[in-house]
Structure 1
Amino acid sequence: MKNLSKKIKNNRQHIKTNKIYPVKEGIKLLKNLQLAKFNESIDAAFHININTKKSEQNIRGSILLPYGTGKKSKIAVFATGKNAEIAKMLNVDAVGTEELADIIKKNKTKFDVVIASPDTMNIVSKLGPILGPRGIMPNPKFGTVTENIEKSIQEAKIGKINYRNDKNGIIHSSFGKINFSTTQLYQNLKILFNAIKKSKPNQLKGIYCKKISLSSTMGPGIIIDHLSL
């Protein structure tokens, strides 16, 4: 077994393994642990009671976090004409059509957000096998296939995130940085959780969210009492 560092051992001493923490107490605990030398992200894992083999039960959506994520996203925009000019004026990381598709195919740059105008989807649709697994395939439901390129870019810059479950029925999402206040992190988490609850499939019965765990990038995970959100 790999030896644990003193930092990890020290952090684990502050965590009660079987305890379910009130939300704000859990957030404060993560903030007070011995930190890495960089500004860590705070992540949530929502364990959802769905059958991922049934397409109608899979969860996906987008939400604008009130305090953003604290992360500067790399944004690529597929657009032509006026929409392309708007994207360039807003200083996104890349704008184009076929040449931008080639950059993505060759994996020269990894983008966090990809936005497309409808007239470019014949090009973008071919990138599904690359962008789909990363969760960044443009989608009208997420507002990333749109004629309103300006709005979509602005939302991406200030903290709009997409969420979806993995094959195990877990939704992983960052909702802020360790240097955010407890209140900011709590409000971001609450907005995100409410959006996930609203995405509950109509035919699903019984318990929807089984568990929520929080962690920082380098810190241990804790379980929180999601009923208090």
Structure 2
Amino acid sequence: MAKQRSKRYQKAAALVEGGKTYGLDEAVAAVKKFPAPKFDPTVTVSFHLGVDPRKSDQMVRGSVSLPHGTGKNVRVAVFAAGAAADAATQAGAEHVGFEELIKKVQEGFTDFDVAIATPEAMTEVRKIARVLGPRGLMPNPKTGTVTDDTAKAVKEVKAGRIDYKLDKNGNIAGAVGRASFEDKALVENAQAFIDSVIKAKPPAAKGNFIRSVTVTAAMSPGVPIESNVFATI
């Protein structure tokens, strides 16, 4: 039996014209007209890609710094020692440490949104990959979260950098702000994300790389974007 959608969802869905694709400006405007919940909902851009997630040479992952941030307070954990640890603390990381922080994670602590590690610390951090990996928290050089410049990494993450990775169904999604953002800020954030995913196309990907893109707010229907916004050569 199909789940009954809430009245708020149904009202929002009525504002999306069936079978139509929208320009990015139009899509953002539509999302901002959705009936508001009792909180400031996150606005998300989601992609369905024409790649095979089972093949390592078709993996898509990367990071992008959004020009207007995400509107979210990002909690950062940094695995480092010495000067790199001090720099991370001064840059505003909530949790900084090495062996003691690794032990805490082994015991189940994952109260953070992004993990950063120095290359030296990664030997030990790999021991908690089974905890961090399934939660999308494992530091990775490709996303700038394995670095000796911990201060820069912390500042970038807190300023609005998002990391993304292809899931097992060929999808990618990322938060590009809050519904309370100005239209222009959401459009520019969304476009920055779209451009980043286009650039992340792996050489092994053939045919139609991006099959669809939608913009939505939390607990609301998706608004499909017209293909010229994300067309690739």
3-state SS in 2 of match to 1:46? strand
Q: Contact 1:104/1:110 (CA < 8 Å) preserved in 2?
A: no
Q: Separation in 1 of the partners of 2:40 and 2:108?
A: 27
Which residue number corresponds to residue 27 of structure 2? 26
Q: Contact 2:40/2:180 (CA < 8 Å) preserved in 1?
A: yes
Code of the residue aligned with 1:22 in structure 2: it is G
Q: Separation in 2 of the partners of 1:3 and 1:153?
A: 42
After superposition, the CA RMSD in angstroms is 1.4
Which residue number corresponds to residue 122 of structure 1? 123
Q: Separation in 1 of the partners of 2:99 and 2:31?
A: 44
Which residue number corresponds to residue 175 of structure 2? 174
Q: Contact 1:63/1:192 (CA < 8 Å) preserved in 2?
A: yes
Q: Contact 1:35/1:218 (CA < 8 Å) preserved in 2?
A: no
Alignment of structure 1 residues 65-104 onto 2, 5 Å:
65-104=66-105
Shift of 1:2: 4.3
Mean alpha-carbon deviation: is it higher for 18-27 or for 127-136?
A: 127-136
Question: What do the CA deviations read for 1:12-71 (whole angstroms, capped 9, x no partner)?
Answer: 221223211111111101001111111110011111100111100010111111111111
Which residue number corresponds to residue 52 of structure 1? 53
3-state SS in 2 of match to 1:101? helix
Alignment of structure 1 residues 78-227 onto 2, 5 Å:
78-227=79-228
Q: Contact 1:42/1:175 (CA < 8 Å) preserved in 2?
A: yes
Q: Separation in 1 of the partners of 2:194 and 2:65?
A: 12
Q: Separation in 2 of the partners of 1:57 and 1:2?
A: 35
Flag structure 1 segments of 5+ consecutive residues without an equivalent. Answer: none
3-state SS in 2 of match to 1:202? coil
Q: Separation in 2 of the partners of 1:50 and 1:11?
A: 31
Identity level (%): 36
Moved over 4 A (4+): none
Question: What do the CA deviations read for 1:123-174 (whole angstroms, capped 9, x no partner)?
Answer: 1111111212222211111111111111101101101111111011111111
Distance change >3 Å, CA 145–CA 217, structure 1 → 2: same
Q: Separation in 1 of the partners of 2:75 and 2:169?
A: 28
Shift of 1:222: 1.6
Q: Contact 1:52/1:169 (CA < 8 Å) preserved in 2?
A: yes
Shift of 1:108: 3.0
Q: Separation in 2 of the partners of 1:160 and 1:173?
A: 10
2:33 is equivalent to residue 35 of structure 1:
no
Q: Contact 1:74/1:112 (CA < 8 Å) preserved in 2?
A: yes
Distance change >3 Å, CA 3–CA 142, structure 1 → 2: closer
Q: How many residues align?
A: 229
Q: Separation in 2 of the partners of 1:3 and 1:52?
A: 32
Q: TM-score scaled to structure 2, two decimals?
A: 0.93
Q: Separation in 1 of the partners of 2:156 and 2:75?
A: 13
Q: Contact 2:20/2:224 (CA < 8 Å) preserved in 1?
A: yes
Flag structure 2 segments of 5+ consecutive residues without an equivalent. Answer: none
Which residue number corresponds to residue 11 of structure 1? 12
